[in-house]
Structure 1
Amino acid sequence: MNLLRTLAAISSMTMLSRVTGLLRESLFARAFGASAFTDAFIVAFRLPNLLRRLFAEGAFSQAFVPILSEYKNKHGEADTKTLVDHAATVLLWATVAVALAGIATTPFILMWLGGTLTEQPDAFEAGVWMTRLMFPYIACMSFVALSGGILNTWSQFKIPAFTPVLLNLCSIFAALVLVNYMATPIYAMAIAVCVGGLLQVGIQIPALMKIGMLPRIGINPFAALRDPGVRRILKKMGPAVFAVSAAQISLLINTSIATRLATGSVSALQYADRLMEFPTAMLGVALGTILLPNLAKANTDENPEEYSALLNWGLRLTFLLALPAAVGMAALAEPLIATLFHYGKFTAATIHAAALPLMAYSAGLVGIILVKTLAPAFYARQDIRTPVRIALVVLVATQIMNYLFVWQLNMQVAGLALSIGVGACFNALLLYIVLRRRDIFVPQAGWPAFFAKLVVAVCVMGAMAWYAQERLDWAAMQAQPWLRAGALFAIIGVCAISYFGVLFVLGFRLADFKRRAR
């Protein structure tokens, strides 16, 4: 399997997901702008979405995939299928229980998270209704995460990468059509989340049947808990909740803080976060998806050279693509926000409000992606404790930075984004130091020259991006959306050509980054 080609395929599917996601956010901004009801939906969706990342995509996937890979490579198909059945049973019933508990306690949760929403009864009531409606989403996504882990272990990457597109399409339909039929228009978006979750479950089933790994859900989760493999997964899953989700917990805390700032702060943070997830998913999530099963196999095969070589390949690609993305997003923050969201109720003032946290996020983009590249190096070895300790330190450091940036330096919502970005860089640094000290990762030769060439190319690209965006009044071009979009894409295209052109002149070649899984 050509890993670079596989990465390109996953990134293409992820790009489709992010493009439709940005279209979804653009239509959402056009329909609702930045208001109390917008904040209510974002807060309502944040909690089940966080739980999805904690229990489904995050902790469960990181604990499940290495053990599943071990079963696949060392045990027979029958034992592997039994593990899948029992893991699916426990995960599904656990998330159903969490959803029911969340529905019962929603008003109390929103009183804690909602901040100033409690002062606006209509918005608070809407938030309660939407949170309750969307809580079952985590049960759907737990099955999707299980399916993704299985398919990725069998090197079937495309379906899991495409799956999020379905949620985006549902949300687009809701923002364009369903919103016109709702007495409370924002409810259309919550309904879209529920329908999207069911569709994402449905698309997994044929792919799982094809490889003979469609789980059979039992009615007695306690019987499934007696499976030694499931117990190993749960034992590692508990601490992994903290290890893989420190940034998400920080984001939830930041959402609570943002509700106590100026009206619309939650929305501004959300718009910036959505743009930030674009490169994070296309590179960070895609790399992590490929690296985890391959690193797990190298660990099972007791091949430290292959293990280290895989990490070296992933880190080089991270710096090659994440560094220009970070500089480009910082330089083009206002053009990006204006082009994607400045329609309908989204005002010119909101462009600036959302651009500031985007620029702050950009400072930590490389760190955010590096964490997604480095963390699998520990999970593939079934080492959960080390990332847990690091994540807890970073979580505390992030909240200290929140205090400094938001309240002491008065950076407001931009300070919240900056704290997450700097915290991610700190997290990545600690992960790297531990990998080096334990001789888990031994860098290959050529890193100083590699960095020197990247710096030259990034400086050229960043200067061009800043100069070009300063020549236009992006807010004033609202009446000419296609011209504005064309100008932005032209600038991005010229910057990309200049970046890779400089690298080519300095000796970079595509063949240098090709790699095959062993």
Structure 2
Amino acid sequence: MSDQEAQSSSLLRSSSIVSVMTLLSRVLGLVRDVVVAQYFGARADAFFVAFKIPNFFRRLFAEGAFTVAFVPVLGEYRAQRSLNEVRLFVAHMSGTLGTILLAVTVLAMLFADYLPWLFAPGFRSDAAKFALTGDLLRITFPYLLFISLAAFSSSVLNAYGRFAVPAFTPVILNVCLIASVWLLTPYFAEPLFALAWGVFIAGALQWLFQLPFLAQQRMLVWPKPNRQDDGVKRVGKLMLPALFGVSVSQINLLLDTLLASFLEDGSVSWLYYADRLNNLPLGIFAIAIAVVVLPSLSAQHASENRQRFADILDWAVRMVLLLALPAALALVMLATPLMATIFYHGEMTAYDIGKMALALQAYGSGLLAFMLIKVLAPGYYAQQDTKTPVRIGIQAMALNMVLNLLLVVPLQHVGLALATALSSYFNALMLYWGLRRNQTLALQQGWWRFLLKVLLALLLLAASVWWLMGDAQQWLQLSAWQRAQRMTWVVLGGVLVYFAALLMLGLRPRHLRGVRFE
């Protein structure tokens, strides 16, 4: 096996490990959403906003801008500096980040009653819901501090090739929230407070869980704030523009929440559940690929190996197309059956299912773009170029805002989801052309044959899903067991048809491991 093939095989293996761990987390996340939906129905708008606000800042300070700025710099330190210098950089970076996060958390808790004015102004028409959102936010916001420190630890572990532990860590959040619904709700007059405390506890546990594994890598160091450290300043310089660029999708989702707060009661919940289901394939596949691709791209950039850099990006794009297209097709065609199978229990009504299914179809239509953004953006960040994604991100967010205003009146909450999908395609296309223009992404020989095979398999998948699904509305008349049983057959049948078609068309597993595709 050549060095290039070995490298691509390693990427596939690492991506598979992250995908399996992420699948476990996402399945538990789905169970969590089912439990919350069964207990609260579409009445959890206040909690979803109180949880979404610290999650938004987490994207800025943790998985988002910080990670894409920190990982390339850490990669350079590992390649060019001694172990002691790397440890000192980690100490300075963790201390500086922790200090900033602590200050932001304290300020947010002090002004928690006012933050809903910014993120959910429509709640002002319901004084009780508005006040409840602020009270919940005061409990959930410390999650930002804990989960950002956990994400910092994850970045270090990923840089050392330890992908499984960071990918498993989100399981803790889902377990804590499920347990809080089952165990803590009887102790609160307002049951949503149980969920808020579950978020708080989960954040702390996720951070503590990572520490022993950092110690194994000799990277568990005492934080020492030092904003004058050369590495810290470089991360800060890269992070400032990336704060906006990498979080465009999150900003778009927050804009959706803001506008949805003015719509029919339950709109925030409908969008939340639809987005959660749409994020299932996004997290399992695209984020897993992006997690392992960024350190590899950073290493190739540091060694000035442009050919391998381009090969890795090409591999990532092909993997996304192979997985995103069937997942998007399934979400759009099976929207009502999926929502009915997963959420049609307890307090959730058939009316809610219909509204959620429409939102899922809109989000699902943009799944390919969401996934491409995740793997194309690292192509810029690995080169320590955060300005280009920022410029593209600003343009995409402006387009999203215009589309929101144009579509929200005629389509209500569905218009918000559709606007996010359309603006994401613009974002992905601009990222793609930028990489092609600077020759860091080039389509390899046989690429179009690969795409044709995927599209032909997709046509067979669509026919099989249509035949197996039947009338979507009839799923609401089935029992929970009947829906689950039938959905199992539809999913298994669709997966079998799609991959059998690919095999018949000549695609083999070795083609996904090797760099060159024929």
Do they superpose with TM above 0.5? yes
Q: Which residue of 1 aligns with 2:144?
A: 138
Q: Which residue of 1 aligns with 2:3?
A: none
Q: Distance in 2 between matches of 1:445 and 1:215?
A: 47
Percentage of identical aligned residues: 39
Q: What is the 5 A alignment of 1:70-109? A: 70-109=76-115
Q: State whether residues 65 and 239 of structure 2, in contact with CA within 8 Å, keep that contact through their aligned partners in structure 1.
A: yes
Q: Which residue of 2 aligns with 1:458?
A: 458
Q: What is the 5 A alignment of 1:154-303? A: 154-218=160-224, 221=225, 224-303=226-305
Q: Distance in 1 between matches of 2:122 and 2:56?
A: 21
Q: State whether residues 4 and 515 of structure 1, in contact with CA within 8 Å, keep that contact through their aligned partners in structure 2.
A: no
Q: Can you list the C-alpha shifts for 1:151-182, whole angstroms capped at 9, x where unaligned? A: 00100000100000000000011122211221
Q: What is the 5 A alignment of 1:331-480? A: 331-407=333-409, 410-471=410-471, 473-477=474-478, 480=479
Q: Distance in 2 between matches of 1:210 and 1:515?
A: 32
Q: Distance in 1 between matches of 2:186 and 2:23?
A: 29
Q: Distance in 2 between matches of 1:404 and 1:253?
A: 14
Q: Distance in 1 between matches of 2:402 and 2:66?
A: 29
Q: State whether residues 115 and 134 of structure 2, in contact with CA within 8 Å, keep that contact through their aligned partners in structure 1.
A: no
Q: Can you list the C-alpha shifts for 1:445-475, whole angstroms capped at 9, x where unaligned? A: 1122111111111111112212322246221
Q: Distance in 2 between matches of 1:311 and 1:190?
A: 40
Shift of 1:415: 1.0
**Residue type of the partner of 2:14?**
T
Shift of 1:308: 0.6
Does the residue aligned with 2:113 lie in a helix, a strand or coil? Answer: helix
Q: Distance in 1 between matches of 2:272 and 2:380?
A: 30
* Number of residue pairs matched by the alignment: 506
Does the residue aligned with 2:210 lie in a helix, a strand or coil? Answer: helix
Pick closer, same or farther for the CA change 1:26–1:232 going to 2, 3 Å.
same
Q: Which residue of 2 aligns with 1:321?
A: 323
Q: Which residue of 1 aligns with 2:486?
A: 487
Q: Which residue of 2 aligns with 1:115?
A: 121
**Residue type of the partner of 2:12?**
L
Does the residue aligned with 2:496 lie in a helix, a strand or coil? Answer: helix
Q: Distance in 2 between matches of 1:308 and 1:113?
A: 40
Shift of 1:515: 4.7
Q: Can you list the C-alpha shifts for 1:213-268, whole angstroms capped at 9, x where unaligned? A: 013123xx3xx111010000001101101110011011111101001111100000
Q: Which residue of 2 aligns with 1:3?
A: 11
**Residue type of the partner of 2:433?**
I
Q: Which residue of 1 aligns with 2:512?
A: 513
Matched, 1:59 2:60: no
Q: Structure 2: 5+ residue runs without aligned partners?
A: 1-6
Q: Distance in 2 between matches of 1:116 and 1:293?
A: 42
Q: State whether residues 3 and 515 of structure 1, in contact with CA within 8 Å, keep that contact through their aligned partners in structure 2.
A: no
Shift of 1:324: 0.3
**Residue type of the partner of 1:100?**
V
Does the residue aligned with 1:160 lie in a helix, a strand or coil? Answer: helix
Q: Can you list the C-alpha shifts for 1:485-517, whole angstroms capped at 9, x where unaligned? A: 11101101100110111111100001100159x
Q: Structure 1: 5+ residue runs without aligned partners?
A: none
**Residue type of the partner of 1:303?**
N
Between 1:310-319 and 1:209-218, the stretch displaced more is: 209-218
Q: State whether residues 11 and 293 of structure 2, in contact with CA within 8 Å, keep that contact through their aligned partners in structure 1.
A: no
Q: Which residue of 2 aligns with 1:125?
A: 131
**Residue type of the partner of 1:22?**
L
RMSD: 1.2
